[in-house]
Amino acid sequence: MKFIPPFGLGTFRLKDQVAIDSVRTGLELGYRHIDTAQIYGNETAIGQAIAASSVARDELFVTTKIWTENLGSGRVLASLQESLQRLGLERVDLTLIHWPSPNDEIPVAQYLSELLEAKRQGLTAAIGVSNFTIAHLRQAIDAVGVDEIATNQVEIHPLLQNRQLVDFARQQGIHLTAYMPLAYGKVLAEPAIQRIAAAHGASPAQVALAWSLQQGYAVIPSSTKRENLAANLAAAELRLSAADMAAIATLERGERVANPGFAPRWD
């Protein structure tokens, strides 16, 4: 598997021409990791943006996610084939289970085994999970082995540092991808983040993204504005001090943004 690029372009809530423009601009600026999902309803638009770009396919890292309605027997593979058709790709680089089956109606072992079969068939270079709790990660490890879990994509930002889950993932050697790394902008209003940004001549968004990157997470912020896309990408160059990291550590308050009614019982 190709290494998961630490900086990706998220596409949640981007549709149609807005999604095409965001991905096209991102690719022009140097993004090479594009993150989508079946439920986003934008795989076709993203496929169009990729096809229209001059970036070679082997330079790109494309992630999609299997929606909960497609976790039933036979649907994992079939739905991934449909995703590939929409994306206009022969295979994706990473396919994630988007959420555990609501109320655990379908066993983790069943749908992850199907996803592993999709990898064996060459539909995806790697597999992983998203929104998995410690309990779900244990089941995933039992089902396919820890080496097959390329990442767990979860909500992590300075206001929700998810420490129990992070500690478990690190103990197991499971990589983490932080989604909603800016908590829909809530992080940017934090005085501590603003102070650190001012001291570095950086933006609050860059500080929050650098905080995630320095802990080894991949980040997938989204934006529709060229200047924000460029500024976000520049966060990879920002180095925060130990004092900066310690100050941000105090901002943890369990402020979760993504918490739909079918979400698992969080750690």
**Would you list which residues are annotated within the binding site?**
98
End-to-end alpha carbon distance in the chain: 29
Residue 40 annotated in active site: yes
Strands in the chain per DSSP E: 9-10, 33-35, 61-66, 94-97, 127-130, 149-155, 176-179, 218-219
Give CA–CA dist 179/13, Å, rounded: 13
Catalytic residue among 40, 111, 179, 217: 40
Give CA–CA dist 152/150, Å, rounded: 7
Find out whether 105 and 138 touch, Cβ atoms under 8 Å: no
Residues of the binding site for substrate: 98
How many CB atoms are located within 10 Å of the residue 75 CB?
Answer: 17
Give CA–CA dist 64/101, Å, rounded: 17
Find out whether 165 and 135 touch, Cβ atoms under 8 Å: no
Phi and psi (nearest 5°) for 12? Answer: -55, 135
Eight-class DSSP state of 27: H
Find out whether 124 and 148 touch, Cβ atoms under 8 Å: no
Which residues are catalytic, by number? Answer: 40
